[in-house]
Structure 1
């Protein structure tokens, strides 16, 4: 690689049908297919240059390169050997708080490395590679809605864009905490697999995926939100019912926001929750109703950090 400073920018995505469990840890093959919405508000920009050893700079600070090094070695096996790299990332996402920072990070890294190698791979091919670093990264190559097919092996587990009707969907992001979560997603998934309800959740999730795709095709935001909330709460119920070390990512503030969302729906406001591996709550709504929801949250919880995100773009290079 030369010393050019091409950058790749990938946005985070929020799974409306969740990925929560691995059937092959080495290949990051999930137990369920998943469906996501890419967000405009949160993203990672990454560049690479030749170096003496693999190293990592995150937000202008040297960072632990262990995970990056392992991922780059995987790329070397898949794509052919290349020299050590200095990876420089700007992450515009709260890290490890359930806002998919690793998704945008590994998508951007995969994209920029492949481009610097002069290889012309499709986003679907890139999604297979990025999946090895972070499963949800497979979906961050695509704008708007994307589906990650669980597959049965490396070749069949990939993401692709979902052709969708245009709809005025918005997410109100309530950032309960920026702190790094105590239980990683990987650890959380392993515990959730021990829930006696896990197999039932897999069956229900597969049906919800079909229903969600239909709701998106019909631009039915109310149905999109209803399915997403049911899927997310089902995922978090697995954590509580794990037979090995049950746990929750929810805080008191998370619970309070969920209660407020129920109150909003009783008032006729379109508002549904989705929550990933962390305490932060994303509220699915319409662009028109987003400001109303922000005001309700801020009145009830004045110190809460709230932002409004909309549908975001796929990966880009400059």
Structure 2
């Protein structure tokens, strides 16, 4: 029988941007994320007798990355027959909305279920990390922390067991096109920035402050720390010694300006961005509509959507 799992994507509030071991996908920093209810991947795996196959939203796709990842799972779980992977992705792909996080989390969970492995979430997160680092965090609802670790065993994610709070994320989708500089290449360039070591030290301090803000349900402090962390991360891209670049577009800059204006008007709004031009605005459920209206008043063609805290892995 086929096995199906659904994983929601997550947005990093304290970013992962750089690898100290590319083979194991070990990050240079620990990170904290919020799982989102509106963006998810539903994946079904079915054994077949020929070769690993991948279908995304009904279309056959090059399965090289998935095949390599499944071979990693075979090394850990033992050899298993080829799989047909059918994935319905409700996240724009390669546009900085962490589509790979939900995709590899769902694939890992569905494969383990198909093989009758009842693995703890920490182990699943460690396995999924090999396909996409951010996938390690998508096994958990609400807030999660991914420990950078020092080796394959110690680099995993777990829930922060945070209190419920009326946090919301307004997603301003500037583009759903695949980005020109992929995340892996972007990180490779960013670590050449002369400011990279300073960013690592500051990120470690921000991680401690973020955990405290989350436990106190202080959404304003959560937003302020996340915005500073994200903008300093993107500054690394501009100061890279090897092929400096940016994910920002003119619309990205306009949205950042709108967010700043909203704060000056007394509306809680802070921006964060992953590897792409799309901006996510951290706010409260009560203020989300105000943020949406402000964005659309200046950029009427912009696609906006409000997400709230999402759930962890779901099995069908």
Bin for the TM-score computed over the shorter chain: over 0.9
Report how far residue 6 of structure 1 moved. 2.4
- Residues 59-92 of structure 1: CA distance to partner in whole angstroms, max 9, x if unpaired? 0000010000000000000110000111000000
For residue 208 of structure 1, the aligned residue among 206, 209, 217 is: 206
What TM-score do you get using the length of structure 2 for normalisation? Answer: 0.99
- Residues 229-276 of structure 1: CA distance to partner in whole angstroms, max 9, x if unpaired? 000001000000000100000000000000000100000000000000
What runs of 5+ residues in structure 2 fail to find an aligned partner?
none
Q: Distance in 1 between matches of 2:87 and 2:17?
A: 26
For residue 65 of structure 2, the aligned residue among 61, 64, 67 is: 67
For residue 53 of structure 1, the aligned residue among 51, 55, 60 is: 51
For residue 29 of structure 1, the aligned residue among 3, 26, 31 is: 26
User: Which residue number corresponds to residue 268 of structure 1?
Assistant: 266
Q: Distance in 2 between matches of 1:84 and 1:5?
A: 13
User: Which residue number corresponds to residue 182 of structure 1?
Assistant: 180
Q: Distance in 1 between matches of 2:56 and 2:269?
A: 35
User: Which residue number corresponds to residue 135 of structure 2?
Assistant: 137
User: Which residue number corresponds to residue 38 of structure 2?
Assistant: 41
What TM-score do you get using the length of structure 1 for normalisation? Answer: 0.99
| Aligned ranges 1:7-156 → 2 under 5 Å | 7-51=4-48, 52-156=50-154
Structure 2 contact 35–310 (Cα < 8 Å) conserved: yes
SS of 2:109 mapped into structure 1: helix
Equivalent residues, number: 315
For residue 171 of structure 1, the aligned residue among 169, 177, 187 is: 169
Report how far residue 50 of structure 1 moved. 1.4
SS of 1:141 mapped into structure 2: coil
Q: Distance in 1 between matches of 2:288 and 2:87?
A: 31
Q: Distance in 2 between matches of 1:195 and 1:149?
A: 23
Report how far residue 303 of structure 1 moved. 0.1
Q: Segments of 4+ in structure 1 off by > 3 A?
A: none
What runs of 5+ residues in structure 1 fail to find an aligned partner?
none
C-alpha RMSD over aligned residues: 0.4
Report how far residue 5 of structure 1 moved. 2.7
Structure 2 contact 34–309 (Cα < 8 Å) conserved: yes
Report how far residue 166 of structure 1 moved. 1.6
Q: Distance in 2 between matches of 1:161 and 1:37?
A: 10
Structure 2 contact 2–47 (Cα < 8 Å) conserved: no
Q: Distance in 2 between matches of 1:43 and 1:157?
A: 23
Q: Distance in 1 between matches of 2:118 and 2:231?
A: 40
Report the more deviating stretch, 102-111 or 49-58.
49-58
Q: Distance in 2 between matches of 1:227 and 1:167?
A: 17
SS of 1:47 mapped into structure 2: strand
Report how far residue 163 of structure 1 moved. 1.4
| Aligned ranges 1:164-313 → 2 under 5 Å | 164-313=162-311
